[in-house]
Amino acid sequence: MIIKLKLYKLDKYIIVFLVITKFSRDNMDEEYEKVGAIAAKVRKQAAKKITAGMKVVDFIDWIESEVTKTGAGLSFPCNISINEIAAHYTSPVNDDTVFCNGDIVKIDLGGEINGFISDTAVTVVVEGDNIEPVDEDGKPLKMPGRFDDGNPVVTEDDLEERYNLIEASSNALENVLSIVKDGVTLNEIGKTVQDTIQSYGFTPIINLAGHSLEQNNLHAGVSIPNYPDGSTHELKEGDHVAIEPFASSGSGITSEVQQHYIFSFMNNKPLRNPQAKILLKNISKNNRYFPFAQRHVKTSMDDSKFARAMRPLIMAGCIYPHAVLKDNANGMVAQTEHTVIVEKDGCKVTTL
């Protein structure tokens, strides 16, 4: 009798627990869907808006403000990676880089609501009239290696290859989405990405990966490979993941460029440098959970003061600097990305 009563009580607790768990998971998924729809809308608008001659920093400012004006936060600085740059470029303050006709541009953006995240990317080829590589005052604009006598060095063959790269990465994502469900292994996903991209004659980038998402955590531990890495790890119903195949016409391996425009807060440590101390306190309060750029730190420090205060923070491991990543062989790169919720028999894409 006592045992039975105990079991009965336990059952009740289990039912209450399951109901609460289900309720909070539905609520959470609602937030994922809401912030996913915001990112998807901005991504589509951005792909239409980009044009030759536009400054990268203006484009990024516009994208980020479209996200934040909805009341959502940014889950990372908008990444705009051009040509052989695969990822992790965002504008430093006063960036005078402009888009050129024929550039293949990765637009990677995301939002967060109550810490629940969206992460999505599309790649486009920039169109528009060729522009003179100088600004209104005749000052040369930054377009290293991209102009020859005032014209972009992009042939018809180059353009065809760039459009094919985009198709390869977006088809790879589509094929992956058709197999994602409870129980799919990471190896199966990676194989699908690789097979699709290789069928176009390109290579996937093997040292860049998608990632699991959790509240306030953009990279929550599980990496979603872009090649069959042998992993038997299975995605489970209720998992939230960002899947992002990268197709390259080069080596398929990226290396770090010694430029760092995106940072992550890691931890607090006692510091002697007073400016560094102030900056860390500010960042740990306002930029604690999500990667940020200098543009997102609310400080009155000018550029050089900011750089001087950041150095000891990076040295001490309080701040992690994300290096710009480019294809090793300077091949062109395309990326397509969606955020998905894994379901029993399929998946729900939150960023469609």
Distance between CA atoms of 7 and 102, rounded to whole angstroms? Answer: 69
Q: Is 338 a residue of the active site?
A: no
Determine which one of 219, 229, 234, 237 is catalytic.
219
The 293-322 contact track toward Co ion, x by CB under 5 A, reads ------------------------------
For residue 14, the one-letter residue type is: I
- Per-residue b/e over 131-159, b at no fewer than 16 CB within 10 Å? bebeeeeeeebebeebbeeeebebeeebe
Q: Which is nearer to Co ion, 29 or 108 (CB)?
A: 108
Determine which one of 84, 95, 119, 161 is catalytic.
119
The residues pairing with 300 across neighbouring beta strands, listed in sequence order, are none
Determine which one of 33, 84, 112, 244 is catalytic.
244
The verdict on 242 binding Co ion (CB under 5 A) reads yes
Q: Is 211 a residue of the active site?
A: yes
The 184-223 contact track toward Co ion, x by CB under 5 A, reads ----------------------------------------
8 A C-beta contact, residue 242 and residue 36: no
Nearest to 100 by CA among 42, 44, 158: 158
8 A C-beta contact, residue 143 and residue 83: no
The verdict on 119 binding Co ion (CB under 5 A) reads yes
Contacts of residue 46, Cβ cutoff 8 Å, sequence gap at least 6: 59, 62, 63, 66, 107, 109, 122
Determine which one of 88, 211, 260, 322 is catalytic.
211
Q: Is 108 a residue of the active site?
A: yes
8 A C-beta contact, residue 351 and residue 43: yes
CB of 68 to Co ion, least distance (A): 19
CB of 244 to Co ion, least distance (A): 5
The verdict on 241 binding Co ion (CB under 5 A) reads no
Determine which one of 64, 84, 108, 327 is catalytic.
108
The verdict on 112 binding Co ion (CB under 5 A) reads no
Nearest to 50 by CA among 125, 145, 113, 160: 125
Size of the site for Co ion (CB under 5 A): 2
Q: Give how far Cα 25 sits from Cα of 19, 285, 349, Å.
A: 10, 28, 16
Q: Is 233 a residue of the active site?
A: no
CB of 265 to Co ion, least distance (A): 18
Secondary structure letter of residue 337 according to DSSP = B
Q: Torsions phi, psi of 86, nearest 5? A: -90, -40
CB of 242 to Co ion, least distance (A): 4
Count other C-beta atoms under 10 Å from residue 230's C-beta: 11
Q: Which is nearer to Co ion, 112 or 119 (CB)?
A: 119
CB of 307 to Co ion, least distance (A): 27
Query: Footprint of Co ion on this chain (CB under 5 A)?
Result: 119, 242
Q: What amino acid positions are annotated as catalytic residues?
A: 108, 119, 211, 219, 244, 337
